Amino acid sequence: MRGTKDIHMMRIKIPQGQLNADQLECLADLAQAYSKGIGHLTTRQDMQLYWIPTSEAPQAMAKAASVGLTTREACGNSVRNV
């Protein structure tokens, strides 16, 4: 999670660049609910969702986790997909 006091960007790892149908549907739902319908796929095979209110970030992270997706190690000095 990165952002300001009130708004965050959430970068979700897509392991090996592969998603199953439930994960893809979850990302679409998150983009619709929190990110103005926009999900940015990065060159490192992650998805970034912008404009997530800080107060709603825990719910967004929990929804991603419910289908096996995480923000862990999607930023900073960590092993990347590519």
CATH code, domain with 33: 3.90.480.10
Q: Which pLDDT score, from 0 to 100, does residue 72 have? A: 74
The total number of structural domains in the chain stands at 1
Task: Supply the range of the domain harboring residue 14.
Answer: 2-65
- pTM for this model (two decimals): 0.82
Distances in Å between the Cα of 25 and the Cα atoms of 1, 7, 21, 64, 75 are 21, 23, 6, 10, 23
CB contact set of 7 (below 8 Å; sequence gap of 6+): 50, 51, 52, 53, 54
pLDDT in tens, the chain (82 residues): 566 778 989 999 888 889 999 999 999 999 999 999 999 998 888 899 999 999 999 999 999 999 999 887 556 555 656 6
DSSP 46-57: EEEEEEEEGGGH
| Cα–Cα distance measured from residue 72 to residue 1, given in angstroms and rounded to the nearest whole number | 9
> Has residue 70 been placed in a domain?
no
